[in-house]
């Protein structure tokens, strides 16, 4: 592209070149040849200087265009990188929100149902064991007792596999608002018993470290004797 402009510029300069530099007549043939050569030489130097100025101006203009194009490309690249970062963060937050919503509305209720069934199987196993202990051995009752015992063991194994934890505080444990829900308060004269568990009303449930249901407890409340 630059070479094409140079050819065009040379053609324009040949047409616009002053004739006085090329046409200088003298009295004799020898002097005419000398003056003609000098005029051509001066015309060549003038054309060369103009050409150099033209090339410099063209290069400066093209350098400015390339510099502007490079700056624009860098700006677009930074904008694209920023947009990609924003899109990545949005996708991450959307995935986290979807996972939390799925756990809260689908998984957590299912875990609570599993815990309820496991608790019922444990209670049934205790009742069956107590009933068997107070009766004489019976061939009809033994298979049922074994089936209930096996079901209780399977329920315990599944709860451990799912990383389920029953929140069941002990008496005189310190109250933990994150795991315990106070439903009753019992007055006591012992200052050390203040805000400690008096008894458990209902066990709580935690799944993979997340408390799904806090344990309902009764706590001591210190009252100074008048």
pLDDT, greater one: 146 or 194: 194
pTM summary value: 0.51
Give the tens place of pLDDT for each residue, 29-40.
Answer: 444 577 777 777
Paired residues of 174 in beta bridges: 196
Q: How far apart are CA 88 and CA 97, in angstroms?
A: 14
Give the tens place of pLDDT for each residue, 112-122.
Answer: 888 888 888 88
Q: How far apart are CA 140 and CA 137, in angstroms?
A: 9
Q: Measure Cα distances from 52 to 3, 6, 12, 49 in Å.
A: 13, 10, 15, 5
| Annotated domain spans of the chain | 2-90, 163-226
What is residue 107's three-state secondary structure? helix
- The overall longest dimension of the chain from CA atoms, in Å, is 156
What topology is assigned to 163-226 in CATH?
A: Nucleotide Exchange Factor Grpe; Chain A, domain 2 (2.30.22)
Q: What's residue 32's pLDDT?
A: 52
């Amino acid at each position: 592209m630059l070479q094409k402009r140079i050819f065009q510029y040379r053609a324009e300069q040949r047409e616009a070149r002053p004739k006085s530099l090329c046409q200088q007549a003298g009295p004799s043939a020898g002097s005419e040849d000398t003056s003609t050569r000098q005029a051509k030489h001066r015309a060549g130097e003038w054309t060369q200087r103009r050409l150099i100025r033209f090339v410099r101006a063209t290069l400066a203009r093209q350098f400015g265009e390339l510099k502007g194009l490079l700056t624009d490309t860098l700006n677009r690249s930074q904008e694209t990188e920023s947009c990609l970062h924003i899109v990545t963060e949005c996708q991450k937050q959307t995935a986290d929100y979807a996972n939390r919503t799925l756990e809260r509305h689908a998984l957590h209720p299912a875990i609570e149902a599993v815990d309820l069934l496991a608790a019922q199987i444990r209670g049934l196993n205790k009742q069956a064991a107590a009933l068997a202990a107070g009766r004489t051995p019976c061939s009809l009752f033994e298979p049922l007792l074994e089936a209930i015992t096996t079901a209780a063991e399977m329920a315990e194994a599944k709860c451990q596999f799912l990383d389920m934890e029953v929140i069941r505080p002990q008496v005189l444990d310190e109250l933990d608002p994150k795991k315990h829900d106070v439903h009753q308060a019992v007055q006591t004269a012992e200052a050390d018993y203040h805000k400690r568990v008096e008894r458990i009303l209902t066990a709580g449930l935690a799944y993979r470290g997340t408390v799904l249901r806090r344990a309902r407890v009764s706590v001591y409340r210190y009252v100074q004797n008048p």
